[in-house]
Amino acid sequence: MGNSLKITLPKTAFVNRKEQKMKTKLNQSKLKLAIVSAMLVGSAGFSTAGYAATQIDSMRVTTNVLMSCTVDAPTLDFSTYDPTQGVDTLGTSTITSACTGGGSATITMNGGSAEVAGSTVAAPLRQMTHSSDSSKLNYQLYKENARTTVWGNDEASGVTFTAAAGNNTETVYGSITAGQAASFGSFYDFVVVTLTY
């Protein structure tokens, strides 16, 4: 009775536990240090890229707009011609061209299919030909409604204009001379319309 059992642990047991805790903390500290170091290195890389030196220059961009045109010359239809009437038979047609805006263009017209004595490039003499025989019918094409200036086939006798953007129109004024002895039937001619730009 009254006796007690005492167990004495060796001091080395406590020392070993303490050393293990210290080693664990040391290892954790090393790991944290490694992570922080890696982050610093990475951020240093980003920082370097963010503040990299730059050089700039300007690039000149150019082109040349070409002058280009299309032309459409519809039929000039005099409808009917009565040789017994004492006045000329009149008709018109509108030539339409589409050109690059701002450019200069000239429309010329040749003397047609018939070869007429005395005809020149600047002042062509024009004739329509009967569809079934060789008879002719004189007519002329003019630049204005008064029908005094012949529309010719060179720059001076043609019509020159400065193209606007979109469609450009020029009116051809035709006239068949009154009182001609013409055969009954239809007459025709083909005039070459040239647009030079």
Per-residue pLDDT at 3 exceeds 60 = no
Please report, for residues 48, 123, 150, 170, the alpha-carbon distance to residue 108 in angstroms, rounded to integers and kept in the order given: 72, 11, 11, 11
pLDDT of residue 118: 96
pLDDT tens figures, 139-176: 999 999 999 999 999 999 999 999 998 899 999 999 99
What's residue 50's pLDDT? 61
Q: With CA atoms as reference, report the closest residue to 82 among 186, 185, 178.
A: 178
| pLDDT of 79 strictly over 70 | yes
Contact 193, 170 (CB under 8 A): no
42 and 48 Cβ atoms separated by less than 8 Å: no
Query: Taking 50 as the threshold, does the pLDDT of residue 1 lie above it?
Result: no
User: Model confidence over 41-66: pLDDT tens digits?
Assistant: 555 555 555 668 999 999 999 999 99
Q: Is the pLDDT of residue 179 over 80?
A: yes
Question: What are the residues whose beta carbons fall under 8 Å from the beta carbon of 115, sequence distance 6 or more?
Answer: none
Average model confidence (pLDDT) for the chain? 85
pLDDT in tens, 80-117: 999 999 999 999 999 999 999 999 999 999 999 999 99
Mean pLDDT along residues 7-18: 46
What pLDDT is stored for residue 55 in this prediction? Answer: 95
Strand ranges in 73-166 using DSSP code E only, listed in sequence order:
89-99, 104-109, 126-130, 136-142, 159-162
pLDDT-derived band at 26, boundaries 50, 70, 90: low
For the chain, domains (ranges, CATH) are: 69-196 (2.60.40.1090)
